[in-house]
């Protein structure tokens, strides 16, 4: 069976999609924490390591950006990694941010590590391709 048919990859993608929905869109820490493994390593310099760091981050989102939405445009999985190309909008009506999130999952399909890169979507561009 080739990697593209590996059911573990689909399970990992579904875990990450659920994490976006309950964690970032609903800001439901209890539900999101069930998708995180025993040790959560964070590479975003604005978020602390561990489940406590994620809880504090969600608290900040609930307080500062309660209407924040993350829309996954593309999602890829290989090995223990899931990569998502995401449109994040903190405040409705804003152009938002193009984000690439990289997650590493453990053998139980729990998120154990996260990296991201973000780029604000500009008002104008020198091409007409868009960021998604």
pLDDT in 10s for each residue of the chain, 132 residues: 444 579 999 999 999 999 999 999 999 999 999 999 999 999 999 999 999 999 999 999 999 999 999 999 999 999 999 999 999 999 999 999 999 999 999 999 999 999 999 999 999 999 999 999
Tokens 């193009």, residue located? 98
Give the pLDDT of residue 5: 76
126, part of any domain:
no
For residue 11, is it within any domain? yes
Distance CA 57, CA 67 (A): 15
Q: What is the pLDDT of residue 71?
A: 98
Is residue 128 included in any domain, yes or no?
no
End-to-end CA distance of the chain: 31
What is the number of domains present in the chain? Answer: 1
> What pTM was estimated for this model as a whole?
0.94
Is 60 within a domain? yes
Q: Which domain holds residue 76?
A: 3-120
């Amino acid at each position: 069976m080739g990697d593209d048919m590996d059911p573990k990859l689909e399970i990992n993608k579904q875990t990450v999609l659920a994490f976006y929905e309950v964690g970032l869109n609903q800001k439901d820490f209890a539900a999101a924490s069930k998708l995180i493994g025993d040790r959560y390593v964070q590479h975003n310099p604005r978020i602390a390591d561990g489940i406590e760091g994620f809880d504090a981050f969600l608290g900040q989102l609930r307080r500062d950006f309660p209407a924040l939405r993350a829309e996954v445009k593309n999602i890829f999985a290989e090995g223990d990694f899931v990569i998502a190309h995401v449109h994040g909008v903190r405040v409705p009506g804003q152009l938002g941010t193009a984000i690439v999130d990289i997650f590493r999952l453990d053998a139980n399909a729990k998120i154990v590590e996260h990296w991201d890169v973000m780029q604000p979507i500009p008002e104008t561009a020198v091409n007409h391709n868009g960021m998604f």
